[in-house]
Structure 1
């Protein structure tokens, strides 16, 4: 790579998107941001980002475009509508969708991008809001190591690990596998502690015991302490799981 920083557009500065975009900005990349609720992008603008009035305006002239929006239907409209990102972006642009979405949609977007002389790949992340803030997310990518080489340095501004699964849609498929495991461990953690409470057990001691054996999980290790303290602040919306 040259020393010249790529021009970056970031669309969707919500719970996860805002801190991710912040790391990109802190790394010195020229950044343009768009969010439907402009107030959510204001802290980034105050730190030096440029605010765009529309996704198309954000994408125009950008070398790399990140998207992190709510649902697959939002992704589809954003990319594939007549005035969507595949039309608004310049030829040669790289478009990276961080949204947890559908593998089939990711394949459609990658195919349409290739036809229009752009590159697009799915890159859902895991690590939650805490990982986004810390810049330690795991990127789960539907592309090859070679495909991501032009943006590897950029991805490293907000990730600690990168997994390439080799083809369009495979990042989303791998993220869904992760979510199946995560959902099961979260429900298991909650059920285990609920039962322990009903049985009159010391909950901290019960958790410590579970963590010594094969019943341990990331949820029991990281989320249970918050639950035991009565901290129910969400890091991910249930409807996104569904």
Structure 2
């Protein structure tokens, strides 16, 4: 059934929307849900999302909304305390001496996630995030335990960074739709919307990548073992 048409008019609260318009706005969240893990739509989410569009008194009389900006990851969100330095770290030519690289100062294990291959890397750093050699660190606990802790920290922090940003993107897209309705009526195509959907960021968690890498390793090991078994059955036949 085609949506009921609505003439151009101002919008200042959820009650100004009819049911077809609400469904059109909730469709934004559904598309985000398909693109980003963790954006599950429940009945509570539906109500909160529609209300959030008009948060802080937003109306169609306001200026065109600006796109949201995602916050950068911070050192404390990607690193855990790993121990202390056994001695003062060597100073490279041209580098300044730093109190953070002295004997007894804190050393950290950082997890790096990303890149085209969505890889995971482990980096040892000082308190300022500059890389150091693991050999200079007196570890406070096992490396396995440190890796477990930094994975949990990273994933928790990444959810808190990505998901609220994606909610802001959904609200940003919704407000642009409503602005179009206020000028041209409903339903109507909203110019530039495809570009706005590209603002959504994927939620990439360490635990998911580790499981994927583990699967690849198991598959490779099985393939190598099968090849070795096959080669072992090949007998050498000397040429006449």
TM-score (norm 1): 0.23
Q: Which structure would you say has the larger RCO, counting Cα contacts within 8 Å and 6 or more residues apart? A: 2
The structure whose Rg is larger is: 2
TM-score (norm 2): 0.23
